Amino acid sequence: MRAFELKLSQGAKPGKGGILPGSKVTAEIAAIRGIPEGEDAISPNRHQEISNPDELLDVIERVRRITGKPVGMKTVIGSEIYPQQLVAAILRRGVVSAPDFITLDGGEGGSGAAPQALADHVGLSLSESLPLLVDVLYQAGSAGADSDHRLGQAGDLRPGRLGALCRCRFCRQCAGVSILTGLHPVAAVSSE
């Protein structure tokens, strides 16, 4: 294992937990998660120990200290407010408390499991949220011209070009690969 990523939200269903249908809960998944095989796995919509930026940074520091590995976070943002609060907490506590990387997902989603109201109205698209996050980092002085952005993005390759323009270290493309391999979850799960 090279790193840990705390999943705060994803584009398909920001603010809503996950449901893995029982038909996909194999013996291996059941053993790893400690749940009964073949039964729906319901994931909560939040980490109970994280309700504000300081608590998030506490968890990041704890996981990093225990594992000795880089720790990042995956999130969807709906405005500049949370990124500004997070950066303010990092500046107050010191950059050592910062996540090692941020994976930014767009509100567009892609799993097909999102309730339509969430897919249509919650979370900014990558084309809106990536420049917004980069602006917040620049304003805080944490993304200067000589720094490497520890910022990734999940989503479509077209916004990936935007990520390159914003000097992301990497862009990760998720849904398109699973479409090409025939493993895209929309084939199995639909919001209709």
Q: 99: domain CATH number?
A: 3.20.20
In a domain, 67, yes or no: yes
Domain count along the chain: 1
Predicted pLDDT of residue 125: 78
- pLDDT of 112: 56
Asked if residue 35 is part of any domain, the answer here is: no
Report the Cα 59 to chain-centroid distance in Å.
Answer: 15
The reported pTM is 0.67
Residue-level pLDDT at 179: 39
CA distance 20 to 42: 7
Confidence (pLDDT) at 144: 44
The whole-number pLDDT of residue 39 equals: 92
Residue 181 lies in a domain: yes
Q: Are 176 and 156 in contact (CB under 8 A)?
A: yes
Distance CA 139, CA 147 (A): 14
Instruction: Note the pLDDT of residue 115.
Output: 64
Contact 176/184 with Cβ under 8 angstroms?
A: no
Task: Please give the order of strands across the beta sheet that includes 71-75.
Answer: 4-7, 71-75, 102-105, 151-155, 172-173
Q: Containing domain of residue 112, as a range?
A: 4-13+47-187
- Which residue from 50, 36, 153 is spatially nearest to 103, judged by alpha carbons? 153
In this structure, is residue 39 part of a structural domain?
no
Stretches where the chain sits below pLDDT 70 are: 10-17, 45-46, 109-121, 142-192
Query: Tokens for 101?
Result: 């990387």
Q: Which amino acid is at 49?
A: E
Please check whether residue 119 is in contact with residue 106, taking contact to mean a CB–CB distance below 8 angstroms.
no
